[in-house]
Structure 1
Amino acid sequence: MNRGLRHAADSYDVVVLGAGAGGMSAAVFAALEGARVLLVERTEYLGGTSAFSAATTWIPLTHHARTVGAEDSYDKVLGYLDNAVGNRAPRAMREAFLKAGPGVVAELERRTEMKFRPRPLHPDYLSELEGSTACGRALEPEPFDARSLGDALKLIRPPIPEFTILGGMMIDRDDIPHLLKIGKSLESTVYSAKLIGKYYISRLRYGRDTRLVMGNALIGRMLASALRLGVHILTETETVALRSKNGAVTGLTLRQNGESRDIAVAGGIVLASGGFARHPRMRQEKLPHPVPEYSPSAPGHTGALHDLAFELGAHHGEEAAQPCFWAPCSIRRRPDGTMAVFPHFVLDRSKPGIIAVGRDGRRFVNESTSYHLFGAAQFAVNRDGSHIPVYLIADSRALAKYGMGMIRPGGSDIRPFLADGYLTEGATLEELAGKLGIDADGLKDSVARMNRYAETGVDEDFQRGTTVYQRVNGDPSHGPNPTLGKLETPPFYAVQLWPCDIGSAMGLVGDENARLLRRDGSVIEGLYACGNDLQSIMGGVYPGPGITIGPAIVFGAIAARHAAARAGASRRSEAA
């Protein structure tokens, strides 16, 4: 396991740099191929941003699709991606992904601890496009009992605190309805009591929750598999050099606690460090301005490996629609002084009684669109800071029922949020506008228009709630449009939203085997990439939930198999 650099071997068949979903997949699949594998993580935790995420995994055409009645086909999903992505990424890359994906999922479930499940309703984000589906393509990891990991449990990056309750209890979408009905339903009260009881027992015995869900479940299952397969894992270890001979990568130099070590690599090195987005220079050069100050992603993706890859001839793709994937986020300082950056994915923006406006008080986007398109829209319409930040507005009824950002649904105590300025309150719309410094007439007009649309069910300005994806994120008990509701019950409230990067879309250019390429199209033998280190096969477009994690896992597997085969060929050549 994590025995320190001095205990590492002098050579490995495959070395994986980075331990998010893509890196863990590469390590596991290389080990499944019989390779000697070293997994290197520069931070103290495994999991990267994947551990923070919901871990939704977009891999179409798996055996799970049939279990939810999905009507899908290779031609249908390829057509959907063609419509969504177009020429922003090579078609051959998405073809490789679609062909390999079902087998990758099947092998993981057959030979490792990894278990997925589908949802009966989990639509593609661009569900207005031909070829989209309402279910079957997006998978999620099954919850995982991590007690079997023992001390290795401490290696998994803990979830974002604001995504937990009771100081660290992880919950998923199945738990929330029960927790909201404590004392109102016997079934939900019993369910919640068992959940909470097990959590406190785990905290006493293990120091943290051992029932892992979402991203922690994905990483926990991958870690259990890697350990069983004999993968050697190093954390807090930096890669300081990639070595090559005759244009092919032959090894690397690692540093841990001031000690350096040269490692020979027979098959290949897989870059899986999470992308360039925290690289100080590249962040300023490649992201739109004003460059986001904060990100809800994990801290490991410094882009340092990209600098090393550039020295060997690798390069970034340039055709992506966006350099990063976006989400609107609210920001709040925690008691310990750190900054909480909360992504507003689906829980509030699409709910009735909630709208988003710029400094002019006017709506600027369909609030129920995907978080990526919402964030991109902020940059697109921002003029002299007019839409960075924007303001999520709700009346008291909507706030109590649905929550907003870090304010949880169900009528939680809002006084701390008012006290520190995270939430702004106004007895009237005019008062709220005055406190926010936005145009009061514009805000009043926006609310009046929304109140009319709530009655008719038709958003004449932005067509909110017109697609399957948009409607599923509304309130199914509300009509005539589940996303449109009146703002009429004072006081009124606002939370500021900033566009934040949640992952790189611009990455290192590779081929269908995840091998990195030079600008002339030649292969850098022995050097691979997956996850956000690899140029997005979605071309900076966000077609569905989990379109970063799904390709990361699949191209991690593709890279690992190719590198392991290369190591095997090398050994056979030496033996001959």
Structure 2
Amino acid sequence: MRHSSAVCRHRNPQRIGMAESSYDLVIAGSGAAGLSAAIFAQSKGLRVAIVEKTSLIGGTTSYSGGVVWIPNSRQNAATGLRDTLDEAERYLDSTVSTSHEREARREYLERGPEAFACLESLTGPLFYVRAINSPDYFPDAAGASQQGRAMTPLSVDGRILGERFNDIRPPLPELCLFGRQMLELMDVYHLLNARRSAKSALHTGRLLLRDLRDRTLYRKYGRGTRLTGGNALVANLYRAVLERGIPVFRNSPIVELIREGERVAGVIVKRNGIREKLSSARGVVLATGGFPWSKALREMHMDEAEFGYSATSPDSTGDGIGLATAIGAKFDTANVEGAFWTPVSTGTRKDGSVARFPHLMADRAKPGLIAVNKSGVRFFNEAENYHDFVRAMLGRLKNEDQQPVHLLCDAAFVRKYAFGAVPPLASERRRAVRSGYLIEASTIDELADKIGVDRDALNETIAEFNRDAELGVDTKFGKGNSAYNRYLGDASNKPNPCLGPLKKAPFYAIRVHAGDIGTTYGLAADIHSRVLDEQGQPIDGLYACGNDRNSVMGGFYPSGGITIGPALTFAYLAVMHAAREDLRPVAAE
């Protein structure tokens, strides 16, 4: 087994928490990449500051599950998972079918465990491996791990932040109990089984009591104080930033990069309407979240997907990319895809705001759901990963554009499982029908009319699927065949956890769009995360990580956690280079 022998060596910071205009390193953005970069930098004795254009900390990380994919992590080794760097690389080579960024992928695999060990030595434990963990997304590919290599953030009581709790960007309310109490994966399992299991009923009771406590004793926080997923990761990182006295300038958008000769030496920010110069002796790290909400960049580079269906922070508008390209940085569009895709449905919340719900894992793999295209027929395995599902929608997988696409189910499904943003509650179902989010019909013919497809085609599609469901074998697309499909299905459903008939009226549909959870195109960078110019040369003093940096996965999505995993790893590598720290060689055992 090969592993890194590097140790995270700390130095006492020269100055902590001084509100000054001169720093060693300025970090743009406060998602997982930006916060961790600041922690790494301060531990190396650098005077560091974070600038965030909004009032909220966390960016899109706060909306996410916060999962990271780190082969050979300490946590995975502790579970008994036998893995090697070469096996992980074999997996990526078999699922990421492009040579673009291959050197960076190798660097990620080599340095990821080192980066995460260093980060946790500075912050305390951040991640754990679920007892029943997701397999890699292509479990039958060479080098795949059936146990998975992903890690999940430890849940945290948000009260550790005290009055700074509300600095954290709240999660999507559709992913919370009662729109306010965050949930873990096992919480969802227990909620769905509360009527059938005493253990689940007890667990659900505890959740309800926690919510009652937060509503009565901790109303000042405005939502549940139990933080999970990306919110928990952001809270733990932000706590470490505050404890270390690292200045965080919120409501301070960067309007310009300062250049001294050929090097980047700071930024101009606008604070309270006034331009302010922050000099930076070692440079600037861009971690502003990519460009999912930049209409101009999307129309120029990825207009195949309609604008407005991103499930990311609406403040991720390509700021870092724009600042860098203005001084000659290269914007890399060589990836196979420009975004990390997911099907997204939209609705209107009670307060009138638009809800953009990402159909990641909760509904598509469950028995009794199918997806149909503009012709009323199935076009892909509904239980496959969200990225490839949308690639199929867009006609990428040796097919044609399938849109508009609808997810369909029956009355039995909606009483047992969540369907998009609608929990299995009759009151919420009725509200979703009234709002138009959920399409309801008494017959298949009526449903066909309402979603605009041919009646005969839809009837035949459902009849064929129902025959397969009875036998437990999806003869068309193999839904439920892989370990990943079965992980997301319902283990209590026999013989196939992903197959069940659509028979009981009324029938339901949700329109899904080609949405995303972030962009893959980004600034060209080397293995130290130094931003490159159009000639492929590093721009001195300019670094990029997170979704500002071009994705090392080349536009593919081999497993959950391949966005935040590289984000934290390349934040580490950027800081190590800026701090002029030598990386120890990766040793073989």
Q: TM-score interval w.r.t. the shorter chain?
A: over 0.9
Structure 1 unmatched runs, 5+: 1-6, 568-576
Is the aligned partner of 1:222 residue 2:234? no
Counterpart residue type for residue 471 of structure 1 = R
State the alpha-carbon separation in 1 of the partners of residues 274 and 193 from structure 2. 54
**What SS class does the counterpart of residue 488 from structure 1 fall into?**
coil
C-alpha deviations, 1:312-333, integer Å up to 9, x for none?
Answer: 2211222211011111011111
User: Residue 265 of structure 1 corresponds to which residue in structure 2?
Assistant: 280
User: Residue 188 of structure 2 corresponds to which residue in structure 1?
Assistant: 176
State the alpha-carbon separation in 1 of the partners of residues 178 and 428 from structure 2. 15
Q: Among 135, 142, 147, which residue is 1:130 paired with?
A: 142
User: Residue 571 of structure 1 corresponds to which residue in structure 2?
Assistant: none
**What SS class does the counterpart of residue 117 from structure 2 fall into?**
helix
Task: State whether residues 511 and 517 of structure 1, in contact with CA within 8 Å, keep that contact through their aligned partners in structure 2.
Answer: yes
Task: State the 1:137 CA deviation.
Answer: 1.2
Q: Among 33, 37, 49, which residue is 2:60 paired with?
A: 49
Counterpart residue type for residue 237 of structure 1 = S
Aligned 1:360-379 pairs, distance under 5 A: 360-379=375-394
State the alpha-carbon separation in 2 of the partners of residues 294 and 445 from structure 1. 31
Is the aligned partner of 1:234 residue 2:245? no
Q: Among 287, 309, 334, which residue is 2:324 paired with?
A: 309
C-alpha deviations, 1:237-260, integer Å up to 9, x for none?
Answer: 110110112211111111012011
State the alpha-carbon separation in 2 of the partners of residues 177 and 76 from structure 1. 32
User: Residue 87 of structure 2 corresponds to which residue in structure 1?
Assistant: 76
**What SS class does the counterpart of residue 332 from structure 2 fall into?**
coil
Counterpart residue type for residue 161 of structure 1 = P
Task: State the 1:566 CA deviation.
Answer: 7.9
Aligned 1:255-404 pairs, distance under 5 A: 255-380=270-395, 387-404=402-419
Is the aligned partner of 1:65 residue 2:101? no
State the alpha-carbon separation in 1 of the partners of residues 297 and 164 from structure 2. 34
Q: Among 108, 111, 130, which residue is 1:97 paired with?
A: 108
Cα gap change, 1:505/1:158 in structure 2, threshold over 3 Å: closer, same or farther? Answer: same
Counterpart residue type for residue 151 of structure 2 = L
State the alpha-carbon separation in 2 of the partners of residues 81 and 508 from structure 1. 22
User: Residue 523 of structure 1 corresponds to which residue in structure 2?
Assistant: 538
Counterpart residue type for residue 148 of structure 1 = I
Counterpart residue type for residue 178 of structure 1 = H
State the alpha-carbon separation in 1 of the partners of residues 428 and 25 from structure 2. 52
Task: State whether residues 365 and 498 of structure 2, in contact with CA within 8 Å, keep that contact through their aligned partners in structure 1.
Answer: yes
User: Residue 154 of structure 2 corresponds to which residue in structure 1?
Assistant: 142
Number of residues of Structure 1 aligned to a counterpart in Structure 2 = 561
State the alpha-carbon separation in 1 of the partners of residues 236 and 531 from structure 2. 28
**What SS class does the counterpart of residue 532 from structure 1 fall into?**
helix
State the alpha-carbon separation in 1 of the partners of residues 344 and 203 from structure 2. 31
Task: State the 1:26 CA deviation.
Answer: 0.8
State the alpha-carbon separation in 1 of the partners of residues 239 and 54 from structure 2. 19
User: Residue 208 of structure 2 corresponds to which residue in structure 1?
Assistant: 196
Task: State the 1:196 CA deviation.
Answer: 2.9
State the alpha-carbon separation in 2 of the partners of residues 38 and 242 from structure 1. 15
Q: Among 15, 21, 32, which residue is 2:26 paired with?
A: 15
Task: State whether residues 305 and 514 of structure 2, in contact with CA within 8 Å, keep that contact through their aligned partners in structure 1.
Answer: no
Task: State whether residues 403 and 411 of structure 1, in contact with CA within 8 Å, keep that contact through their aligned partners in structure 2.
Answer: no
Q: CA RMSD in A?
A: 2.1
C-alpha deviations, 1:188-223, integer Å up to 9, x for none?
Answer: 444333333333333443423221111110000000
Task: State the 1:114 CA deviation.
Answer: 4.1
Task: State whether residues 34 and 571 of structure 2, in contact with CA within 8 Å, keep that contact through their aligned partners in structure 1.
Answer: yes
Counterpart residue type for residue 351 of structure 1 = K
Counterpart residue type for residue 246 of structure 1 = G
Counterpart residue type for residue 138 of structure 1 = A
Task: State whether residues 59 and 101 of structure 1, in contact with CA within 8 Å, keep that contact through their aligned partners in structure 2.
Answer: yes
Q: Among 440, 448, 456, which residue is 2:463 paired with?
A: 448
TM-score (norm 1): 0.93
Counterpart residue type for residue 393 of structure 2 = Q
Task: State the 1:295 CA deviation.
Answer: 1.6
Aligned 1:459-538 pairs, distance under 5 A: 459-538=474-553
Structure 2 unmatched runs, 5+: 1-17, 583-589
Which deviates more, 35-44 or 87-96?
87-96
Is the aligned partner of 1:416 residue 2:416? no
User: Residue 261 of structure 2 corresponds to which residue in structure 1?
Assistant: 246
Task: State whether residues 14 and 564 of structure 1, in contact with CA within 8 Å, keep that contact through their aligned partners in structure 2.
Answer: no
State the alpha-carbon separation in 2 of the partners of residues 234 and 490 from structure 1. 55
**What SS class does the counterpart of residue 267 from structure 1 fall into?**
coil
Query: What is the percent sequence identity of the aligned residues?
Result: 39
**What SS class does the counterpart of residue 380 from structure 1 fall into?**
coil
Task: State whether residues 292 and 499 of structure 1, in contact with CA within 8 Å, keep that contact through their aligned partners in structure 2.
Answer: no
Task: State whether residues 179 and 188 of structure 1, in contact with CA within 8 Å, keep that contact through their aligned partners in structure 2.
Answer: yes
Task: State the 1:456 CA deviation.
Answer: 2.8
State the alpha-carbon separation in 1 of the partners of residues 198 and 395 from structure 2. 49
